[in-house]
C-alpha cells in the first residue's frame, strides 16, 4: 500500500481511531461492570495500571511511525502520527487523572508529597508536563506558526518516552520483565533512528533519501 487514495486514507484513519479508542471503551465498561467486564479486586490499581500501559504503548507506536516509514517506504504512515500521539497523550492524561482524582481524590497534600518525594512519580509527572506542549502544538495552525521550531519542539517525544519507560521500571517490585519489554522496544526504535542517521551520513539509497524529507500531516 504505497499510495492510498484520499478515501482509503480516511478509512484507515477511522479504523486506527477506533482501535485506539478500544482500550478506553473496555476500561469504561469494566469500571461500570458492563457485559461481564470487570476491573478485578483492586479496580483503582487496575485502572491506573491499564491507562498507564496504553499511554506507553501508544507512545511507542507513535515512535514506530518514522522507522516503519523508512523501512517500508510507506510515507503516508506519517499521516497517522498525530492521531497516535494525541491518543498517547489522552491515555497518559487518563493515567494521571485516575491517580489524582480516583485514587487520591484530589487531595493536594498527598499528591504534592508523592510528586516531590517519590522519584518515579516525579519523572512520570515530568513526562506528562512535557507532553502538554506537544499536544497543544499538534494542530496544523501551530505547525505553520512554529515552522522549523515545531520539529525541534516535538523532538521532546524522545525524552518523554524514556521518562515513561523509566517511570514504569521504577514502579515495579522486583519483577522487571514487563518494563524490560518496553525498554527494549524503545531502545530498538531509538537505535533505528541512530542507524538511519549514520546511513544518511554516507551516500544513501535514493528511496531512503526521499523518505527522509520531513512530511507533516
Partner 1 sequence: MLIRRAPDIRPSAITDEETYLNRRKFLQLAGFAAAGTMAGSLGAAEPRGKPFPKVAKSPFSSDEAPNSYEDATTYNNFYEFGTGKGDPYRYSQNFETRPWQVTVGGECARPGEYSYEDLVGPHTLEERVYRLRCVEAWSMVIPWVGFPLADLVKRLEPNSRAKYIRFKTLYDPAQMPGQRRAVLDWPYVEGLTIAEATHPLTLMTVGLYGRELPNQNGAPLRLVVPWKYGFKSIKSIVSIEFTEQRPRSSWELAAPSEYGFYANVNPEVDHPRWSQARERRIGGGLFAEKQPTLMFNGYAEQVAHLYDGLDLRRNF
Q: Which of residues 153-172 bind partner 1 (CB under 8 A)?
A: 170-171
Nearest approach, Cβ of residue 125 and partner 1 (Å): 14
Instruction: Give dist(CA 217, CA 209) in Å, integer.
Output: 19
Q: Which stretch binds partner 1 (CB under 8 A): 41-49, 60-68, 80-88, 202-210?
A: 41-49
Nearest approach, Cβ of residue 42 and partner 1 (Å): 6
Where helices occur in 118-156 by DSSP H, the ranges are 119-136, 140-146, 148-154
75 touches partner 1 by CB under 8 A: no
Q: Which stretch binds partner 1 (CB under 8 A): 82-90, 117-125, 182-190, 203-211?
A: 117-125
Q: Which of 5, 7, 175, 205 binds partner 1 (CB under 8 A)?
A: 175
Strand, helix or coil at 63? helix
Instruction: Give dist(CA 159, CA 107) in Å, integer.
Output: 29
Give the HSE-up count for residue 129: Cα atoms under 13 Å, Cβ half-sphere: 7
Binding-site size for partner 1 (CB under 8 A) equals 34
Output 21 or 71, the one with its CB closest to partner 1: 21
Instruction: Give dist(CA 108, CA 112) in Å, integer.
Output: 6
Instruction: Give dist(CA 132, CA 62) in Å, integer.
Output: 16
CA angle 189, 199, 211 (to 5 degrees): 70
46 touches partner 1 by CB under 8 A: yes
Residue length of the chain: 217
108 touches partner 1 by CB under 8 A: no
Give me the residues that bind partner 1 (CB under 8 A), please.
Answer: 26-27, 30-31, 33, 35-47, 49-50, 102-103, 105, 110, 113-114, 117-118, 120, 170-171, 173-175
Amino acid at each position: 500500500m504505497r499510495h492510498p487514495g484520499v478515501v482509503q486514507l480516511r478509512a484507515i484513519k477511522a479504523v486506527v481511531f477506533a482501535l485506539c479508542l478500544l482500550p478506553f471503551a473496555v476500561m469504561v465498561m469494566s469500571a461500570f461492570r458492563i457485559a461481564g467486564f470487570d476491573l478485578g479486586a483492586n479496580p483503582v490499581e487496575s485502572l491506573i495500571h491499564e491507562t498507564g500501559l496504553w499511554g506507553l504503548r501508544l507512545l511507542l507506536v507513535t515512535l514506530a511511525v518514522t522507522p516503519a516509514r523508512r523501512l517500508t517506504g510507506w510515507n503516508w504512515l506519517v499521516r497517522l502520527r498525530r492521531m497516535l500521539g494525541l491518543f498517547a497523550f489522552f491515555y497518559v492524561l487518563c493515567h494521571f487523572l485516575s491517580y489524582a482524582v480516583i485514587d487520591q481524590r484530589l487531595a493536594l497534600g498527598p499528591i504534592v508529597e508523592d510528586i516531590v518525594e517519590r522519584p518515579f512519580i516525579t519523572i512520570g509527572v515530568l513526562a506528562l508536563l512535557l507532553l502538554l506542549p506537544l499536544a497543544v502544538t499538534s494542530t496544523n495552525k501551530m505547525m505553520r506558526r512554529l515552522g522549523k521550531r515545531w520539529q525541534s519542539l516535538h523532538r521532546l517525544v524522545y525524552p518523554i518516552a524514556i521518562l515513561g519507560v523509566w517511570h514504569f521500571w521504577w514502579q515495579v517490585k522486583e519483577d522487571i520483565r514487563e518494563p524490560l519489554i518496553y525498554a527494549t522496544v524503545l531502545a530498538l526504535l531509538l537505535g533505528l533512528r541512530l542507524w538511519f542517521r549514520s546511513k544518511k551520513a554516507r551516500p544513501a539509497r535514493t528511496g531512503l533519501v526521499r523518505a527522509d524529507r520531513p512530511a507533516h500531516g
